[in-house]
């Protein structure tokens, strides 16, 4: 309704201005035409007076000049029959300044008067010519009356049409509003109606539907995350409770108590690692999170992590080597990148069989990007799992069957660390051929907490990778 009122008000103003313009334009045109006729009459009369004043009567007889009056001079003056019949002599007394004026005759007819002067042999002769303006003024009155009735009628019809069209045009908005108001957190699968995807409302509804799709995906991911986190947290808590209850069922010697306490500490350590991983992801994804950017050497970071975690590889009789290609300076959050490299090495150690080889490399791509790469000779990852292994709590089925420890958060942290730096994670793997994980960072670190969209690239490679990442 408000839109229709605005439309009607603007249209009314436009129509009124247009009507006034038309009326004034018509009046000015008719006035110019009448003045031109009077000027022509005056020129003809002046010519006759100047060259043959005795022939003035001929102008009246032949109707060349409709109504005129010539002031007395050497000869007597002259008044045409039309002049006398209309009683225009009284108009001479009403001429006060100017050469043109309007006069209404005794019979009510309006006349336009024009005064002139002509040089004759006997001296200047004054004269006045007149034209009946009844037709012009009746036409102007009819035009004004027509506009007075046409403008309101047009406005009413336009308002009704505008109200109808506004209702038709805004019908999709009402449908979208009603549907959007009925969608709750439990109905995110619902979508707004799209009558015409090509018009503005259709595109608007499409944008809202895309937003609903993203919200639905986010809610679904949140539900899965909550369910998976609850499951992963419940497992060690249940184990701790069970071990404690068993330990309290009967008296135990020191060794028995030591065993119970050791089991509790082992499950507590697992629980602690899980909570720390969840906190790492939560902090990194916080909108207010900022990377602690500083210059660092990726090659030095890789060697440092390999030295710290190498004892785990030795326990499994694995060969862990670091290929040295020189310094790889870059800018990044050292703690977050270190956490990512630790996760890659920890996964490689867990899933590479005894006697296998794990290689850590830091370097630069031909495009100038810096990277850290971890290769192993493990069982590899099937192509259908290449993208999913980076999802939270995702564990490929072979890994679950092997009963390997871990909650499936390691590679999620790796991807988050890379993308937080504006980089990406590349995976090359095939079953039975090991895998290669590579964290690729921009040639220069971001100037702030920039985290542009990055996709995880997966390409075939002759190396192997763990299934449970």
CATH at 219: 1.10.287.130
What is the mean pLDDT of the segment spanning 90-95? 67
Q: Give domain status of residue 184, yes or no.
A: no
Q: 346, 437, 341, 349: which is closest to 390 by C-alpha?
A: 437
**Domain range holding 209?**
200-285
DSSP assigned state of 65: S
Query: CA of 154: how far to CAs of 13, 15, 189, 198, 224, in Å?
Result: 12, 8, 48, 32, 62
Do 35 and 115 sit in the same domain of this protein?
A: yes
What is the mean pLDDT of the segment spanning 403-417? 75
User: Does the pLDDT value for residue 446 go beyond 70?
Assistant: no
Do 270 and 398 sit in the same domain of this protein?
A: no
Q: What is the CATH number of the domain that holds 369?
A: 3.30.565.10
Q: What is the CATH number of the domain that holds 109?
A: 3.30.450
CA 314, CA 414: separation in Å to the nearest integer?
Answer: 24
Q: Give domain status of residue 39, yes or no.
A: yes
pLDDT in tens, 8-47: 788 888 989 999 999 999 999 998 998 888 888 888 888 8
Do 309 and 353 sit in the same domain of this protein?
A: yes
Last residue within a domain, chosen from 86, 114, 138: 138
What CA dihedral angle connects 378, 384, 388 and 394, to 10 degrees? Answer: -60
Do 264 and 381 sit in the same domain of this protein?
A: no
Instruction: Give 97 or 341, the one with higher predicted confidence.
Output: 341
Of the pLDDT bands very low, low, confident and very high (cuts 50, 70, 90), residue 200 is confident
Do 264 and 353 sit in the same domain of this protein?
A: no
Do 298 and 433 sit in the same domain of this protein?
A: yes
Last residue within a domain, chosen from 216, 251, 285: 285
At 76 the pLDDT is 56
Do 97 and 214 sit in the same domain of this protein?
A: no
Cβ-proximal residues to 422 (8 Å cutoff; 6+ apart), any chain: 441, 442, 446, 450, 451, 452, 454
Among 25-34, 122-131, 428-437, the range scoring the smallest mean pLDDT is 122-131
What is the mean pLDDT of the segment spanning 117-137? 81
At 155 the pLDDT is 86
Do 313 and 434 sit in the same domain of this protein?
A: yes
Q: Give domain status of residue 151, yes or no.
A: no
pTM over 0.95: no
Instruction: Give 18 or 201, the one with higher predicted confidence.
Output: 18
At 96 the pLDDT is 60
Do 226 and 357 sit in the same domain of this protein?
A: no
pLDDT in tens, 268-278: 777 777 777 77
Q: Give domain status of residue 93, yes or no.
A: yes
Residues written for the chain: 469
Do 309 and 266 sit in the same domain of this protein?
A: no
Instruction: Give 282 or 413, the one with higher predicted confidence.
Output: 413
Q: Give domain status of residue 76, yes or no.
A: yes
Do 327 and 403 sit in the same domain of this protein?
A: yes
Last residue within a domain, chosen from 114, 138, 162: 138
Q: Give domain status of residue 149, yes or no.
A: no
At 25 the pLDDT is 94
pLDDT in tens, 290-316: 788 899 999 999 999 999 888 888 888
The total number of structural domains that make up the chain: 3
* Partners of residue 283 on adjacent β-strands: none
CA 194, CA 201: separation in Å to the nearest integer?
Answer: 8
pLDDT in tens, 130-187: 888 888 889 999 999 999 999 889 888 888 887 787 777 777 777 878 888 878 777 7
Do 208 and 332 sit in the same domain of this protein?
A: no
Q: Give domain status of residue 194, yes or no.
A: no
Give the chain's mean pLDDT. 78
Highest mean pLDDT of the ranges 114-128, 418-432, 437-451: 418-432
Q: State phi, psi for 466 to the nearest 5 degrees.
A: -70, 150
Instruction: Give 286 or 385, the one with higher predicted confidence.
Output: 385
E strands along 302-423, which residues? 319-323, 329-333, 357-364, 370-376
Say how many C-beta atoms besides its own lie within 10 A of residue 112's C-beta. 20
Q: Give domain status of residue 221, yes or no.
A: yes
> Are 225 and 197 within 8 A, CB to CB?
no
Of the pLDDT bands very low, low, confident and very high (cuts 50, 70, 90), residue 450 is very low
CA angle 131, 133, 139 (to 5 degrees): 150
pLDDT in tens, 320-363: 999 988 899 999 989 889 989 998 998 899 889 999 999 999 99
């Amino acid at each position: 309704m408000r839109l229709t009122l605005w439309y009607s008000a603007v249209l009314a103003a436009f129509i009124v201005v247009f009507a006034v313009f038309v009326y004034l334009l018509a009046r000015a045109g008719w006035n110019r035409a009448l003045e031109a006729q009077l000027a022509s009459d005056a020129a003809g009369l002046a010519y006759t007076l100047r060259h043959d004043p005795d022939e003035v009567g001929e102008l009246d007889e032949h109707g060349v000049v409709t109504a005129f009056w010539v002031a007395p001079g050497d000869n007597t003056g002259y008044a045409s029959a039309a002049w006398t019949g209309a009683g225009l002599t009284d108009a001479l007394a009403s001429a006060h300044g100017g050469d043109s004026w309007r006069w209404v005759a005794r019979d009510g007819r309006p006349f336009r008067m024009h005064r002139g002067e002509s040089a004759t042999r006997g001296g200047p002769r004054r004269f006045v010519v007149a034209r009946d303006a009844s037709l012009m003024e009746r036409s102007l009155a009819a035009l004004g009356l027509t506009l007075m009735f046409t403008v309101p009628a047009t406005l009413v019809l336009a308002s009704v049409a505008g109200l109808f069209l506004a209702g038709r045009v805004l019908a999709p908005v009402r449908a979208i509003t009603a549907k959007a108001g009925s969608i709750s957190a439990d109905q995110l699968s619902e979508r707004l109606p799209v009558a015409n995807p090509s018009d503005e409302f259709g595109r608007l509804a499409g944008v809202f539907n895309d937003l609903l799709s993203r919200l639905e995906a986010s809610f679904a991911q949140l539900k899965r995350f909550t369910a998976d986190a609850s499951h992963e947290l419940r497992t060690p808590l249940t184990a701790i409770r069970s071990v404690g209850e068993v330990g309290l069922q009967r008296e135990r010697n020191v060794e028995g108590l030591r065993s119970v306490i050791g089991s509790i500490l082992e499950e507590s350590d697992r629980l602690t690692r899980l909570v720390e991983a969840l906190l790492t992801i939560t902090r990194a994804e916080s909108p207010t999170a900022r990377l602690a950017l500083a210059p660092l050497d990726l090659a030095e970071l890789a060697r440092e992590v390999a030295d710290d975690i190498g004892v785990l590889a030795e326990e499994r009789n694995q060969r862990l080597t670091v290929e040295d290609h020189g310094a790889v300076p870059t800018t990044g959050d050292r703690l977050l990148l270190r956490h990512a490299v630790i996760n890659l090495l920890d996964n490689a150690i867990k899933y590479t069989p005894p006697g296998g080889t794990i290689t850590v490399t830091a370097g630069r791509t031909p495009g100038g990007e810096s990277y850290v790469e971890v290769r192993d000779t493990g069982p590899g990852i099937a192509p259908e799992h290449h993208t999913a292994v980076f999802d939270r709590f995702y564990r490929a089925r072979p890994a679950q069957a092997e009963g390997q420890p871990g909650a499936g958060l390691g590679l999620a942290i790796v991807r988050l660390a890379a993308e937080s730096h504006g980089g990406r994670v590349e995976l090359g793997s095939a079953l039975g051929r090991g895998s290669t994980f590579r964290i690729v960072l921009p040639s220069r670190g971001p100037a702030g907490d920039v985290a542009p969209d990055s996709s995880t690239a997966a390409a075939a490679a002759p190396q192997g990778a763990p299934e449970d990442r």
